[in-house]
Each structure stands twice: as structure tokens, then as C-alpha cells.
Structure 1
Amino acid sequence: MKELYKSLTIKSRIIILNITILIISISMSFVFISFINRKYTEREVGEAGIQTVNALKGNLSIIFDNVTQFSDLIYFDEDIQSSLRSIDSIYMDPYILSSIRKSLVNMILSGEYLSGVYIFDKYHNTYSSYKNAPEKVNSGEIRSTFWYHNLKKARGNGFFIHKSEGIILYRNQPNYISYIREIGDMNTYETLATLLVTIDARTLESYFEEVSAESNNDFFIVDGKNNYIIPPKNHEEDLKNKLDKMQEEEKPYVRVDLQGDRTILVKQDMGINDWQLVGAFKTDKLEVMAPYYTTAIAIIVVINILFVFISSMILTRLIFKPLSKVGNHMRMVEKGHFMEMAIDKHPNEINELKRIFNGMTLSIRNLIAKVKEEEQIIAKGKLDIINAQINPHFLYNTLDAVSALALMEDYQNCFKITQALGSFYRNSLNSGLDLISIRDEIESIKSYITILNIRYDNNIEVLFDVEEDLLHEKVLKLILQPPVENAIHHGIRSRSGKGTIWINIFERDGEIIFAVSDNGKGMSEKRVEEVLKGECKTGKSGFGLHGQMERIRLYYDIDDPISIHSVEGVGTEVTIRVRRLKEGKK
């Protein structure tokens, strides 16, 4: 095939390439149109689904309102009120039983969606009327249910729950909804009994099936944790997982795939507890084409024609081998290999292009060298600026402490803090040098802790674990001060009692590792991320861990030299890694 292609004329090659490009372009256009059509369909189905679910929610609200009104009829029925007032023992009076049942039978016949009505008096006697007989009524367990304790909080108002926590058990009606309220004395407001009205879930399921009969949609009800109150007809487990995703996205509707079927899920609050009505609308059978698609297709065809024409012109001019070699050499330069192209003796446009490109390559090479030199100068300037920002606040606060100790005539601590301050700055300034031995860095931290312990009543303990052969190694000065300062001011001082800081220094894979950990209050993952990005202030000096990270990165040319691991309430560990310096740089 390759040899056959090479045997073709340039004109034939261009025609084949144009046809190939056109096929690819049309295929891409078809994919693009299909994508737009699918998005348009999803939007239309989603908006229509919202309207349908809202209308369905309104009809359900009427049913639930009717149940509430039915409970009002029972509550204010004079025969029921009179009968409940006259109950004074655990034994059921046949006359009272007959009177209450008579009232309940007349009422339940008026509500086609009602399954049963149950009244439990204060002696756990049950008075009921129902269309579907329960298998068992556990009236003695009422006081142990969660909903019974909520009755007092409701203050006479009723509320809906899913089932009844095992009080009413049906053999052929496993799923139902209950409405519960107290029946109080209309004269004294004393609690007389508990009313429980059940709605057969099959009634609502039948209503959902009537609404979705022609469209093959599905409707169901879930609570705030996406547990089913009224389950869907199909895909129960799959839909539950999709609802969890929908809850995370917080959109009015989302598109999901249910076993290969593209489906739009719409969810609306019902205004009852945390229950939500959900509609599942399939889109696979909906082929909706927007009116403006014709214009879009025409534009795409024109673009295809222009694209083929331009491609033909470019291919005609860029088919020659010398230009391909120039292109290959350009790619080498792009990768950083600044090599000159060989130029033959023939004066032509290609050789002229090579001469110009060689001159440009030489200029770029010189420019890169100059930029690197300037970057080193800028980096040194940044390092000097960072170093200048480290110590002023600490010095001012320490001098204030010295003044306070002198005024209190605490000469011993005044002497100790002055000696420690001198030692700290001798090691910190280091005669203007950037590097300091690890031994001197440790002494500097000890002086720093001495100063803070005098200021903060000896609440800080520092423990060192250092490999002996590293004490003479040179490192960037003040490398430990920012993490120690951060551990004190943002960890230990925020907790009660004495705090401890552990400083471990060891070598690993040619790098010196400084691990500073504390038993302070710790930080959240979000806070750790903010500290590493420099989005929050960590050091009282204003320098902090982010400034330290930039300082180490500029000097040692290390990416991400600082890492932080923290657990809230446990503590924080800051790890700093630097390269072991060669003798020349030391």
C-alpha cells in the first residue's frame, strides 16, 4: 500500500488526501450535531420533567391534605370525643367500642386512598376501622417508638411517617404511609388518645402508573437519605446510586444511564418531612431536532469546503522533501538541540531559509544563556529580600520582654534572655553568610526557645535527635526557625499545658531531612493546602513556611522542599529536605 501511494502523482495524492480530510470533517460534523441534539433533548426533557413533577406534587399534596382534613373530622367528632372522655380503665366498654367504630367506619368509606384508621387510648386499647385487615397491631409498643416521642413536640399537629415502626403489620400490604397526631380534649386540651391513619402505598403507585402509562416514565418518593418511601418500578439499586450523585451536584435535573437507557432524573421537595418526589424520564426514543440545526449544518458544510480548499493549497506547497528535513530540524531545536543545519553550495530558497534559521538558532541560544544568567541574579535578589523579612518582629518583641523584666527587677531572666538573644543573632546573621553548620543552627534554636520560655513561663520543651556526622554539615541559615515558630504560635500555644517539639535530623538518599513535629492542636487538610500555597500567614514575623519554602527552592533548586502532615487535635509534622552541599559550595 505504501509503495502504491508513492507511485501516484502529486495530483492524485492531493485528491486522496482531500477526500480523506473531507470524510473526517463530515464525520466530526455528524458527531457535533448529534451532541447538540442530545443536549437539546436533555434540556427539553428536563424542563418538561420539572413541570410534570411539580404538577404531580400538587396532586399528591391534595391527597395528603385530605388525610389531614380527615384527621380533623375524627378529632372534632363529638361522639368520639365523648367516648374517649368516658374511658377510665384498661377494660374496653362494648358501648364505647361500638360508638367509636361506627364513627370510624362512616369516615373511612369516604376516603378511597385510606387503608385503615386506628385510635389508641391511654390504656393501649385499640379502636379501628380498615379496608385491609392488619395481621397484627402492637399497641403496647407505641410508647417505645420514635414517632410517639415526637408527638409531644408537635403540640397537637400531625405528621406523616413511613410505615409505623412495627405497630401495624400487614400481610398483603408491606408498604404504607402513616399520618399520626394526638387527639386532645376540646375542652381541657388533655391528651385522650393517639390517632394513626394509614395510606396504602399501592394507591400512590397506581396513580404514578396512570400518569406514566403512555410515556414509560417512572415516579417514586425518597427521604433525605435517598431511602425509598414509594419505590420505582425498575432499577431500584441503580437509581439509588444515581440519586446520591444528583444530591452532590445540586442541580434541578441530571442525566444518568440506567442499564444503557439515557434517563433524566428530576427531584422536587414535597414539603413533608424531608421527602422528595423523583421523576425518571427516558430520552432514548425522543429525537428532537431544533429549528436552527439547518442553519448550523449549512455553516458546517461551508466550513468543510473552505477547509478542503485550504488543505489542498497547503499540501501542494509542502509536499517536497527538503522542507520536510527543515521541519525535522526545527523540531530538534524545539526540544533544545540547537544544532546548525548543513547548507550546500546551491543558491536557492531552501538554502536561504536554512541560513536564516541558523542565525535565529544562534540568537536563541545566546538569549537563553543570557536569561539564565539574569534568572540567577533575580533569584539571589529574591533570596536577599526574603532573608531581610525574617527577624524584625521577633527582635522587637524580645526587646519589649527585656524591658519588662528590667522593670520587674528580674535580673536573672533579663540576663538569660539577653544572652540568648545575642547567641541567636550571632548564629542568624553569621557575618552575612548564607550558610551555617547544623550544630550552630541547633544552638540558634535553643537560644530562640530559651527566649520564648522566659516570655511564656517555660511551657515549651524541645527534644533533638540528630545524626552525629551531620552536625558539621552546612545548610541555609534559619532553616529550622520558621517551622519551630509555627509549631509554637499555631500549635502549642493554642492548647493548655506544656507543649513538646521534636526535631529529628537525618540523611536519606543524599538529602538532609529536618522533621519538626509538635503535639499542638493540628490543622485541617484545607489549612495545610493554604499554608503550602502561601494563602495564609503562618509565622508571626510574616515570613512563615511558604516564605521558607521559596527560600529553600531558590537556593537548592528543589521543587516542593517542604511537606506537612497534620491531624487535628493530635499535632503537626513539618518535613524539610535539602541537598547535601558539595565542598565547593560550602
Structure 2
Amino acid sequence: MWRWNDRMLKTKMFISFSIVALVIVGITCGIFYYKNTSDIKSQTFSLSKIIAKQFSEMLDLYMQNIEELTLSISIDPAIQSNLFDFYKASNPIEKETIGYRLNPILFNFSYPKSYVQSISIYTLDGHLYHYTKYVKPEPVVTLSSEQLHNYAEVLGSKPFILVPAPEEQKRGDNPETVVSFIRKITKIPTQTIMGFVDIKINLNAFKMVLTNTEEKENDSTMHVLIVNDEGEVVFENGSRLMGNSQARFDTTIFSKPLPEGELRWNDKIYLYTFEKSSYTGWSTIILIPKDVIILKQKRIQDIVIIIGLISMLLIATVSYILSHQITLPLSNMARKMSRVEIGDLSQRMDYVGANEIGKLSRMYNHMLDSISRLIREVYELKLAEKNAQLSALHAQINPHFLYNTLNIMKSISRLRGIEEVAEISESLAGLFQYSMKNLHRPVALAEEIEHINNYIKIQQHRFGSRLELQCDISGAVLQASILKLTIQPLIENAVNHGLRKVKTGGSIRIQAVCHESVLTIKVTDNGAGMNEAQRIQIDNTLDSSSSLHQFQDIHHGIGLLNIHQRVQLFYGKPYGLQVSSKSGVGTTVTLIIPFSRVQPVKGEIAQ
């Protein structure tokens, strides 16, 4: 995986886009190919069904015309009279003479029908009267007595019989497909059988119907078959299978639930549909060679592959250009940042635009401006710090001079018996001595309490008996580590603001307890207190650590926020100050810090 992460962003974008595009294009092309090939098959079956139905209906119409013709022949009075004369005649010459009388009658029936090839009338004893339209007729195959007997039995329950001719008729180079339409002739009005009429129909006339259909198919690939229930092929367009007993068709397809599917015919795979006629009992079968469908699928496949390749090429080109446009400014920024790394802060991005790269470029330029400004400020701050240290060295004599002066005042006051001035001078000197030590270093809580006692001694000379300090702190807690000057400002706030207007009985109480490594120090006064609005304002300011000016209108001054910020900077956010107060009752300020014992600093000399 590290090799992939080490590749350039442009390369990863190009490879990722190409793989995603390949998957999408592949799936899309696959769906398109499957859908189109499926549609081709569906359209082929739909068209074949329509053709099969139309052809079957056309065949039924032809056969209905033939049935009407045979009915007209069977009830014609002239034919009835001649057949009656035939059965009365005993002389063969008389029987032949009847044939001459029937010839013009049969001519009149067949002449208007172009698809009628010949009309034959059989007597019950097998005598034949035959009329044909051909000038040079072919030898006529007569029906045997057994065949006539079988026909009589079948025609007892059916109006007609359709029988494929045993052989095709040939006229020149054109084979003619012929089928026999046989009907019985009954005597009127007794309905006794007098004979049979056999009309031979030339099915080549059906090919004219298929002409328009074949024009719609490529290379005339559609085959139309007419098959009877025994599987004999009665008709096939463009073939010579009619009447061939070996040309049997597989009739199992007629029992399948759907009239469509695939089959093998003459060693070739076809898609088929069929329509069975309830009138003739024949089935019209439409065959489409499967290789034609496969050829169409191959064309679609080639088109899909070409479209897929073109799409992949376009997507690859676009992804490369897009990734190049994205990574070019990033590469430029990387080069500039390498220059910044060695200290050249003058490198700026010139990219303009409202997109992400433009925003990143502006942020990069602003970052360099901020770094330059901060470096300049830090440099100036260092200079100011050095100057301040020099000034502090010069000014250090002043606190020491004041501290020494206070000690002189204490000595003179004691020598002259002015004890109050000596005590005030001693307490004030202790305050200065405590304040001049390292402010950033934690001290023991006992030291902070001693500093508070010095402050209270001075204030008691001011307030007298109005002010009292109580400390409730155990000996172990007195060794706790605490930041210097974190409790004394709380006492000062209580004196200056809480107890300022108290005439007598003013009290300040300091409590310190340790629980679960947390030191809690409470400073409580019984002064004026604060109303709820003032207390909420202090809490909000402490929580948001806002600027100091927000405390200017609050009577507790800026000391609380100063202490709160110092504690959080030193110990962390969970620690700091909490204020509770009630107007007219007093105020309690709670300081919460982690408990630890103060560690003495080696080599430090007390001042």
C-alpha cells in the first residue's frame, strides 16, 4: 500500500478516474448490449407472430373460397343430373359421353379462380372425370376404391379434407406446390353420396403474399412453412418439400406453452413462431435463421466496443487534463514552500480564482504574511524584553530603597515608642518583600496566608474592630503548592467592596480542604454581596475568559478575571474561580486547583 501512497497525486487521480470510468462504461455497455440483443429477439418474435397470423388468416380465406367453390360444384343441378345419368348408364361409351358434358361445366367453375389448377370428380366405383387448365396435362393419378372408402368415412364427420399432393408438378423451371381439397357430392334431396369432388390448389399463389414480407427481411432469410398435424410440410416458400414424406416436421413444438423458441431444421438453428388455424388444422410456422440474429448482435457488439473505447479515451484525456490542472498549482506551491522552509518568506502564489485552489493560494499568502508579521513582532518583543530587563535592573534599586526605608522607620518608631507605626512599617515591609520574589513560581499556602496576615494587620489599623479574619486550614494543607498572590486579591476585594460599608462585625473566613487530589479554597465575607444579574455577569465573563474591560462596571474589579486566567494558564481549563453571592448576605469565591506539595528550590536565598 505504501507504493500507492508514494505515487504522485496526478497519477493516482488518473488511475482512479480511469478505473471508475472503465467500470461504469463496462456496466453501461453490457446493459446496452444485453438490452438491445434482447430487444432484437423480442422484435423478431413479435414480427414473426404478426406474419404467421396474417398468413394463416390469408390461407383460411383461400380455403373458404375453395369450400364455397366445392359446395357450388356439389349442388350444381347439371353435375347432379350427369352423375345420376352416370349411374343409370350401362354402356362405357355413354359414361365417357358424360365426361364431355361435364367438361364445360367444370371449366366455368375453375376459370375465375387463378389458384385452381384442376377439378376432378370421382364416382363411387372410382371412375374419374378430370378437368385441368394445362394444355398438356400431366398423367392423372386416380384414387383407388380403398382410398375413396376412407374418404367417405372421414367426410361423414368433416365437411372437407385437405391432402398434400404426392408429388410436385413441374412446368418448365418452376415447381408448383399443389394440395387437394376433397369434398363429397350428395344427391339432393336424399343426401346419399354420389361421388367426390377433388380440387387441386396451386399454393404458389401464396408466394405473392410473402413478397412484401420478404422485402423487410435482410437477404430474404425468413422461411414460411405450412405443416399439418402429421408433420407433413404442405408448403415452404422457396423450397420443394411439399408432399415429401421424408420432410417431416417436429410437431412437439405445438405442445409447448409458448408459440416461440429455437429449433433445428435441416441442420440449421432457427428462431420460430407458429399460428395454428382452427379452420384448416394446419400450422403456419415462421423461421428466422439464428445466425442472422447473431450477425445483428455482432454489429451491436462492435458498436458497443467502439463507443466504449471512445468513451474511455475521452474520460482518460479529460481526467488527465483535470488532474494536471489541479496538481500544477499544488506542485508550484510545494516548490515555493520548500523555498520558505529554508527561510525565503518572499515566495507568494500568483494563482487567481474563486475555486479551492484559489482559496488555498490566498490562505497560503495570508499565512506567509502572518508569519512575517509574527517574526517581526517577536523580534521587536525580544528587543523590548531586553530593554525592559535593563530598565528593571535600573529600577530595582527603588523597591529595595523603599524596603530599607520601611525597616528604618520601624526601628526609629520602636526606639521612640510609637509601636503602631512600627507594626504598620513591619507589615508593609513584609508585603513588599513577598511581592518582590519570583511571581511565576508556586509557593506554600502558608506563605500566602502569612502575606494575607500582613495585609490584614495594615487594614485593621484602618478599620479597627470592624474587620476580623478567620482561617480554617489544617496543617497538612498549609504545605500545598499555590500560585503567589491568588488569595490575597480575593481578601482585598472582600475588604474594599464587600465590607466597605459594614459598620461593625465584618468578617472574612478562609477555608481550605483537599479531596481526591483537588485543593478547594473558599474566601467568604458577610458583606453587601451582589444581586443575581451581577453574579451571572461575572460567571459569564469567567466562562468566556473575555477581555478585562467587561469587568469595569462590576464592583469586584478586574482581580477575579486576572486570577482565573493565571490559574487556567498554569493548571489547565478545568480549574479556576467560582463565585456565589446573595445581596445583603455576602459573597463566597471558591478557588479550585490540583493538590500538590510545594517543592523547595535548591540554592534559593531568601531576600
TM-score (norm 1): 0.42
Larger Rg: 2
TM-score (norm 2): 0.40
